[in-house]
Structure 1
Amino acid sequence: MTSAVIRRAQPGDLPTLAALRWEFRTDGAPPVEERAAFEPRFRKEVAAALADGTWLAWVAEVDGLVVGHVYGARIAKLPNPVDEAETHLYISNLYVRPEHRGRGLAKDLLDAVLADGDEVDATILWARPGTEGLYRRYGFTASPEIMERR
């Protein structure tokens, strides 16, 4: 089996990151934007977010090709006077191309983003159907505290 490399995403990865995001989000949902418009917009916005640290990203590389990624964003909390970290970690877009699944790449990507989550109060994510088992193995549970409005 070929070994994988998990590393921080670099600016040169942006075209592949855009393609992976497209694959991830259009799997089961029809796009409302043409791919030719989406990918340049993604590259521009994500390049800025990676440059200023708003988002961090890691990629899984096999034989020199990026085949998966995950993103993490630190969310600052308001200062508080109790013993509680003042940052949350939000994990998004954990995705591995189907032909590379079953090799532990999602686990390796999750390990990488969580390793950057030291000194956070809570780590949050929205699990896609069928992925809850992976997250539960890392101690994620459904929270009675988080609410969402769409």
Structure 2
Amino acid sequence: MTLPTGYTLRRALPADAALIQAQRDAMFTDMGAEQAGLGRAHSGSLVWHRRMLESGSYTGFLLEYAGEVVAGAGLLWQDLPPNPDTTLSQRAYVMNVYVQPQHRGKALARHLMDAVLDECKARGIRIVTLTASDAGRPTYERMGFRPQAELKLLLEDVQVQEGKP
């Protein structure tokens, strides 16, 4: 699959952490995230992205158009025990998939996902997971991603009664 004319793909560098964080903020805003919570997370998330890029625990891909970064996606490399689906301990978690609104409709997210999956294949990764927004879900399902039974609990929402959660 060839990128549309004028677009180039490159790997993210630690110096790109602020760009990645800006895209992440925009992604959460598009999904309706509460702005106060997003503001509280911003600086810590920026530090995390820079640290993870520097350590190699996160691999980012950025799409540029006319010298400006307009889309991106990343992989968080996870160390988990082998399970019935894989004897490997490394897994990949896709995150930060974002395309600026004026560049949507050109299959750029698909191009980013192809780069992400090519990187996973090159590393021999067998399990790739992600959390999809409603808008992104059809793209991921067309690529073969299937829902799984993951649950989420925010501990501050749990009321403790007599020492029991």
Q: For this structure pair, what is the TM-score category when the shorter chain's length is used for normalisation?
A: 0.7 to 0.9
Aligned-residue CA RMSD (Å):
2.4
Matched, 1:50 2:58: no
Scaled by the length of structure 2, the TM-score of the pair is: 0.77
Q: Is the 8 A contact 1:68 1:94 kept in 2?
A: yes
Name which of structure 1's ranges 106-115 and 73-82 shifts more when overlaid on structure 2. Answer: 73-82
Q: Once the 2 structures are TM-superposed, how far is the Cα of residue 71 of structure 1 from its aligned partner?
A: 1.2
Scaled by the length of structure 1, the TM-score of the pair is: 0.84
Q: Distance in 1 between matches of 2:100 and 2:43?
A: 21
Q: Distance in 2 between matches of 1:67 and 1:55?
A: 19
Q: Secondary structure at the match of 2:132?
A: coil
Measured against aligned partners, the alpha-carbon deviations of 1:120-144 in whole angstroms (never above 9, x if no partner) come to 231111110022211112111123x
Q: Once the 2 structures are TM-superposed, how far is the Cα of residue 45 of structure 1 from its aligned partner?
A: 2.0
1:61 maps to a residue whose letter is E
Structure 2 residues not aligned, in runs of 5+: 154-165
Q: Once the 2 structures are TM-superposed, how far is the Cα of residue 86 of structure 1 from its aligned partner?
A: 2.6
Q: Is the 8 A contact 1:18 1:42 kept in 2?
A: yes
Q: Distance in 2 between matches of 1:66 and 1:104?
A: 16
Matched, 1:124 2:124: no
Q: Once the 2 structures are TM-superposed, how far is the Cα of residue 115 of structure 1 from its aligned partner?
A: 1.0
Structure 1 residues not aligned, in runs of 5+: none
Q: What residue in structure 2 maps to residue 135 of structure 1? A: 140
Q: Tell me which of 75, 81, 93 is aligned to 1:78.
A: 81
Measured against aligned partners, the alpha-carbon deviations of 1:51-109 in whole angstroms (never above 9, x if no partner) come to 10121111111111001111101212225799633322110121101111011211111
Q: Tell me which of 61, 72, 75 is aligned to 2:64.
A: 61
Q: Once the 2 structures are TM-superposed, how far is the Cα of residue 148 of structure 1 from its aligned partner?
A: 1.7
| Count of aligned residue pairs for this structure pair | 147
